């Protein structure tokens, strides 16, 4: 009765290690997708290329070098020495069959968010998801692991906003973009025209400066925050 227990406890530890590695690999896949699928500066990286990198850099031997177009081979020199069962059989016998990765980019569908993004020139396709699936081989002769059919899948999603400005003028121009006016969103110029005749009366009634419609101070810091 103790023999199956002694064999299963180390095996469960190996499964947990594989699960943790799968989580790390999904984060890598998501970040690679964010970099290569949302920028014109980097070429698109296919799922097959991502899978090859994940197999070699995460599920191969721990001292594997990081080299372009390097792939994991189905021999022990490229395998993690921990991921073997009590019969010295690899838990990941065929890398291409046992490990898969994919990345996708989704668009922003929420109406107001999409309107803001288009008005400020932001990308609406900024939700990047990386998924890694690992199928672990059954362990023959050790119930219930001989018919377990275990598959570990982890997913990581990153919401990125790649917009940046070259200075205060760029921020001001983006916020006051006249392209927003046809949609009726923050129509600064019509409001300025409407409020201009009322400014003297508001100043008298309120005893202070009237609202300055359309004014944008991107680098303004209140005095009480400077002291």
pLDDT of 53 higher than 60: yes
Mean pLDDT on 59-69: 89
Check pLDDT > 80 for residue 22.
yes
pLDDT of 196 higher than 70 = yes
Contact 11, 137 (CB under 8 A): no
Q: Which residues fall within 8 angstroms of residue 81, CB to CB, at 6 or more apart?
A: 61
Mean pLDDT of 201-213: 64
Residue 111: pLDDT over 80: no
Highest mean pLDDT among 114-123, 131-140, 155-164: 131-140
Identify which has the larger pLDDT, 198 or 23. Answer: 23
Rounded to whole angstroms, the Cα distance separating 71 from 42 reads: 21
Q: Find the mean pLDDT for residues 147-172.
A: 84
Q: Select from 136, 140, 145, 157 the least CA-distant residue to 27.
A: 157
* Non-local CB neighbours of 135 within 8 Å, separated by 6+ positions: 97, 98, 99, 150, 151
pLDDT for residue 4? 73
Residue 107: C-alpha distances to residues 15, 159, 160, 180, 210 (Å): 35, 11, 12, 20, 40
Judged against a pLDDT cut of 90, whether residue 71 lies above it is answered with yes
Cis bond leading into 144, ω under 30°?
yes
Q: 57 or 66, which is more confident?
A: 57
Token readout for 89 is 């059989």
Query: CB neighbours (10 Å) of residue 54?
Result: 27
User: Once rounded to an integer, what is the mean pLDDT over residues 178-205?
Assistant: 62
Residues present in the chain in total: 227
Considering the entire predicted model, what is its pTM? 0.69
Looking up tokens 């998501």 gives: 30
Q: Is 184 left (phi over 0), alpha (psi -120 to 50) or beta?
A: left
197/11 Cα distance (integer angstroms): 79
Residue 2, pLDDT above cutoff 70 = yes
- Expressed in angstroms, the distance from the first to the final Cα of the chain is 73
Whether the per-residue pLDDT at 198 is higher than 50: the answer is yes
pLDDT of residue 129: 92
CA distance 183 to 202: 29
- What is the average per-residue pLDDT within 37-44? 63
Calculate the average pLDDT of the chain: 82
pLDDT surpassing 90 at residue 55: yes
59-65: average pLDDT: 91
User: When comparing pLDDT for 9 and 43, which is higher?
Assistant: 9
pLDDT at site 17: 97
In tens, the pLDDT along 79-95 reads 999 999 989 999 999 99
Residue 20's pLDDT band, with cuts at 50, 70 and 90, is: very high
């Amino acid at each position: 009765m103790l023999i199956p227990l002694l064999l299963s406890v180390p095996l469960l530890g190996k499964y947990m290690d594989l699960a943790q590695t799968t989580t790390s690999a999904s984060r890598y896949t998501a970040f690679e997708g964010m970099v290569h699928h949302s920028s014109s500066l980097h070429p698109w990286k296919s799922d097959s290329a991502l899978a090859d990198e994940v197999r070699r850099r995460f599920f191969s031997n721990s001292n594997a070098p990081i080299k372009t177009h390097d792939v994991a081979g189905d021999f022990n020199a490229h395998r993690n020495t921990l991921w073997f069962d009590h019969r010295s059989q690899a838990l990941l016998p065929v890398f291409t069959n046992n490990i898969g990765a994919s990345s996708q980019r989704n668009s922003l569908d929420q109406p107001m968010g999409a309107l803001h993004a288009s008005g400020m020139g932001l990308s609406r396709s900024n939700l990047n998801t990386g998924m890694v699936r690992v199928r672990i081989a059954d362990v023959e002769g050790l119930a219930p692991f001989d018919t377990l059919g275990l598959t570990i899948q982890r997913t990581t999603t990153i919401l990125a906003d790649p917009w940046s400005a070259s200075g205060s003028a760029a921020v001001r121009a983006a916020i006051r973009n006249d392209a927003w006016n046809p949609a009726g969103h923050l129509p600064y110029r019509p409001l300025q025209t409407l409020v201009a005749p009322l400014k003297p009366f508001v100043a008298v009634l309120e005893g202070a400066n009237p609202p300055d419609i359309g004014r944008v101070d991107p680098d303004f810091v209140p005095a009480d925050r400077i002291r």
